[in-house]
Amino acid sequence: MLNLRQQYGAQSESLAARLLKRRGYAILETNYRTPLGEIDIIARDRDTIVFVEVKARRSLGFGGPKWAVTPKKQRKISMVALYYLKTTRQSQAKARFDVVAIRSLTEPPQVEIIQNAFDLLYG
């Protein structure tokens, strides 16, 4: 059974996936887990594989959701993305990193899809 925080995260990721589909993304994976970490959503946008981090906030006490994707988090997502591309034999594919930032201070929630939110970071 999920606690309230986990339920909120799952609902936010579900909302993000629905919005991405409406924008033409094909969802390939959700909650993709590896020994290196997890990526919330892996999708295809035309000829590009997109690794999507979903960040949601119910308050702005810790800042806006998009600022929660720190360089440390970007490195971890980058490593999982490289793992995915290698294990699926798509190392030469075009890829990018998007962030879906959700602020649910109001109803309906405010959602921002940030394409090319960051570059590949590793090391």
Per-domain residue ranges of the chain: 4-118
Top pLDDT among 42 and 109 is at 42
Instruction: Identify the CATH number of the domain defined by range 4-118.
Output: 3.40.1350.10
Could you read off the pLDDT of 43-95 as tens digits, one per residue?
Answer: 999 999 999 999 988 766 666 677 788 899 999 999 999 999 999 999 999 99
Residue 109 has what DSSP assignment?
A: P
Helix (H/G/I), strand (E/B), else coil: 121: coil
| pLDDT at residue 8, rounded to an integer | 78
- State the Cα angle at 122 between 120 and 123, rounded to 5°: 160
- Rounded Cα gap, residues 10 and 81, in angstroms: 21
| pLDDT at residue 60, rounded to an integer | 64
| pLDDT at residue 19, rounded to an integer | 95
| pLDDT at residue 30, rounded to an integer | 96
Burial class (CB in 10 A: 0-12, 13-18, 19+), 12: buried
pLDDT band at 42 (very low <50, low <70, confident <90, very high): very high
Burial class (CB in 10 A: 0-12, 13-18, 19+), 107: exposed
Residue 69 has what DSSP assignment?
A: S
